Structure 1
Amino acid sequence: MSGTRITDQQVHLYMNKRKQYSQEVAAAKTGISVRTARRIERDATLPSQKPRQTWRTRADPFVDVWESEVVPLLRNAPHLMGITILRKLQDDHPGCYPDSMRRTLERRIRQWRALEGPTQEVFFPQEHQPGVRGLSDFTDMSKLCVTIGGAPFGHRLYHFVLAFSRWEYANVVEGGESFEALAAGLQNALWQAGGCPREHRSDSLSAAFKNLTEQEDFTKRYSALLDHYGMEGTRNNRGLGHEYGAVKNMSQWFSTTPHRLSH
């Protein structure tokens, strides 16, 4: 096989077979080509006794343009495809970089990205168990510029998700974040789902509190609501979008995630 080094054992096996069979038959029984068999018979040195080649067999065809043209392109747009860069080189240097050099260029680009390219974003996937966690959050929908009768309609969206199945429920909230909005949205979501998860996670709703007394009152009422449905409560100060890694806010999550109607 081209590019695969034969072993000492193959050489010994071939030489043993060669005592009984022709060169072609002995090579077939050893699993090597006839060309390799001829080379073995011409050279008495075993493969392990030959030094490995560690240098280039040919000059780098992109040495004249790599640092001056290719690397600046990659630094400005690290995700450029090799074929795009090759087409640019062909336009700038007619006749110098044929399509046959594409794989060589792509290999060099992969090496550059591994050694000098931008740091890759790391995601740690979260594993959720069925029926364990539900999540609630609010998102401001003013960016959608919804109007009613020509007048701006200021509203938020309450959004509930079951973490395992990603079954979703949402309803419009007129006004800001409040316990009433959370309680109504959560109750409607649980009725639609037909059951309750073991744990409910919400954001801190810090924007809804004017003072410490209101915050303490919310905590008591929120605890009573969860006790009524038999759920444990946790807070997520970074918002529900954080639970899903790359999704940064609820409106993005709601607009890009397919709705699942069963869990």
Structure 2
Amino acid sequence: MVTDTQVWKLMDAYEKKASVTKAAMHADMDRKTASKYLQQGKLPSQIEKPVRSWRTREDPFDEDWPELALRLKDAPELEAKTLFEDLLERKPEHYEQGQLRTFQRKVKRWRAQMGPDKEVFFPQQHRAGEALQTDFTFANRLGITLGGEPFEHLLCNVVLPYSNWQCVTICRSESMAALSEGIQEAVFRLGRVPQFHQTDNSTAATHNLGSGKRAFNDTYLDLMRHLGMVARTIGIGKSEQNGDVESSNGALKRRLEQHLLLRESRDFDSIEAYRAFLEGVVTRANRTRERRFLEEFGAMKVLAVKRLPAYAELVVKVTSWSTIRVKYNSYSVPSRLIGERVVVRVWDERLEVWHAQSHQLSIERLVGRAGHLVDYRHVIWSMVQKPAAFERYRWREALFPTLTFRKAYDALSEQLDVRGASVEYLRVLHLAASTGQAEVERALELLLEAGGLKSADPVKKLVDKAPRTAPADVASMVPIVVDLKAYDSLLSPVEVSR
């Protein structure tokens, strides 16, 4: 297609060179085409093209179209591909697969000219300081790694729709703990709260009533009442009603992608380093929204409450397996707690186990369902006395803390029968729990490199011979002698009048 720029070049070159051939070459145009434009003296955009109202070839679907149009009218949701496949199956002698695209274009024209009315979306005017919108978005495609390990996570994006000011937090799942952390981080950073908080129908904020409708969770409503906001949600399946934060999700990830390219690395030393990077990117973006943000800031009411801890508390009983079940996942705990009821504080990224108001341990929280996280140190003291249980233990893979331990068990299995290998491996694992995993692993590596492993005894000998770092002595505290005589010089006799 010839452009206006080409014709400008053509006319300019023709005035200078007075040669159609040379001017056409200069404009990168065929000589006949150049001659036509020179004769007309107009740009392509100025030439009125006749509107063609006839087909250049016969419509292959004319014969069957009345029937097909009737089917589309009766069932507008029918897809063109489905309708064509049915037509091809019924009349293979008339049609072929290569006509699909032609048929899709014909159906598209029919829908535009004769089809049913489509849903109309109405743009809304946002009011300054009226609402806060929150949504979760997956960030795995950013390819973030922590210390070289892939970091699967989501971002909780909180947006003021009027100014597009945003606050972003890192989370592992769409949980109530993550939602609470994201909302509170935003409002306490602002020091203000709007009238409404709007979110979608995620399970973090709502639950199914069984009638196709959803209602707010009590925990979420308690948070809204505490912060002084009114909860509102969008229609089920109506993500466009949360349009500002939905579009902000895409813009946020594109912005992060660009800054990661500038950084020339997607690896971070820790989650704190990644959080600082994220905060820097969002802060720079918020600076461009300052004028409208100041309008919103002035329209919101002052936040006058304290921050709530972003966790939920559950009371669970420790099973005879030395495990607890929290949010559809299983976690091991010290066996001394078997039979006890413990309080579990469910944070977004961790669990805290408390017994009688005493903190027992913290555990990384699993994402998803039907998972398990078993620490061999919690069960080894019993299993070493019941070695037959090892072979079919439900979570046996958790008893191989590293690949070296797995190789050690395989080496023992080559030398001993099933029971013998289990007994000796459990002795090795018991040694790791009672002395130190790193020391035992190093001893296993040396023995495996030397040609094999037949029992736990050589491992224990190597560990016993290994030098151990003694704990540093606590420096003796010398009592401080305070000489109060120095203060006497500050005193002088004062005459008291009577």
User: TM-score, normalising length from structure 2?
Assistant: 0.29
Q: 1:191 to 1:199 in 2, by over 3 A?
A: same
Larger Rg, first or second structure (1 or 2): 2
> Which residue identity does 1:97 align to in structure 2?
Y
Distance 1:108 1:183, change over 3 A: farther
Q: Is the 8 A contact 1:137 1:239 kept in 2?
A: no
Aligned counterpart for 1:95 among listed residues 2, 25, 35? 35
**Residue 229 of structure 1, CA deviation:** 1.4
Mapped contact 1:202–1:234 kept (Cα < 8 A) = yes
Q: 2:182 aligns with which of 185, 188, 198?
A: 185
1:83 is matched with 4
- Mapped to 1, the partners of 2:204 and 2:193 lie a distance apart of 27
Partner of 2:46: 104
**Alignment correspondent of 1:252:** 251
| AA of the residue aligned to 1:149 | G
Offset, 1:94:
3.4
Return closer, same or farther for 1:162/1:254 CA change in 2, 3 Å cut-off. Answer: farther
Distance 2:214 2:201 in 1: 12
Tell me the distance in 2 between the aligned counterparts of 1:178 and 1:163: 23
Letter of the structure 1 residue corresponding to residue 250 of structure 2: S
Displacement of 1:149 in angstroms is 2.2
Task: Name the CA shift for 1:239/1:169 in 2 (closer, same or farther; >3 Å).
Answer: farther
Tell me how far 1:204 sits from its aligned partner. Answer: 1.3
TM-score, normalising length from structure 1? 0.52
What is the Cα deviation at residue 241 of structure 1?
Answer: 8.3
Distance 1:151 1:86, change over 3 A: farther
Determine if contact 1:158/1:171 at 8 Å carries over to the other structure.
yes
CA distance in structure 2 between the partners assigned to 1:240 and 1:193 by the alignment: 26
Structure 1 residues 200 and 108: CA distance shift in structure 2, 3 A? farther
1:49-64 residue pairs with structure 2 within 5 A?
none
2-structure distance, mates of 1:206, 1:108 = 58
Alignment of 1:150-229 (within 5 A): 150-173=148-171, 175-206=172-203, 219-229=217-227
Distance in 1, Cα, partners of 2:249 & 2:49: 40
- Give the SS at the match of 1:137: strand
| Cα shift at 1:176 | 1.1
Say if 1:108 and 1:159 are closer, same or farther in 2 by CA, change over 3 A.
farther
| Alignment check: 8 A CA contact 1:138 1:158 kept | yes
Q: In structure 2, how many angstroms separate the alpha carbons of the residues matched to 1:84 and 1:139? A: 45
CA offsets 1:91-117 (integer angstroms, 9 cap, x no match): 352322247323414x659x99xxxxx
**Cα distance in structure 2, aligned partners of 1:165 and 1:249:** 12
Q: 2:224 and 2:204 mapped to 1: Cα distance?
A: 21
In structure 2, how many angstroms separate the alpha carbons of the residues matched to 1:255 and 1:231? 31
SS at 2:42 equivalent:
helix
* Distance of 2:158 and 2:36 partners within structure 1: 59
For residue 129 of structure 1, what is the aligned residue in structure 2? Answer: 127
Aligned length: 172
Question: Can you give the 5+ residue segments of structure 1 that lack an aligned partner in the other structure?
Answer: 1-69, 71-80, 113-117
2:146 paired residue number: 148
In structure 2, the partner of 1:45 is none
Distance 2:232 2:207 in 1: 21
Higher relative contact order (CA 8 A, sep 6+): 1
Query: Are the equivalent residues in 1 in contact too, given 2:4–2:43 (CA < 8 A)?
Result: no
In the TM superposition, what is the alpha-carbon distance from 1:207 to its structure 2 partner?
Answer: 8.3
1:127 is paired with a residue of what secondary structure?
coil
- CA RMSD, Structure 1 to Structure 2 (Å): 4.3
Q: 1:157 to 1:104 in 2, by over 3 A?
A: same
Q: How is 1:62-73 mapped onto 2 (pairs within 5 angstroms)?
A: none
2:263 corresponds to which residue?
A: none
CA distance in 2, matches of 1:253, 1:191: 21
Q: Distance in 1 between matches of 2:217 and 2:207?
A: 14
Deviation of 1:142 after TM superposition, in Å, equals: 0.9
Find the counterpart in structure 1 of residue 423 from structure 2: none
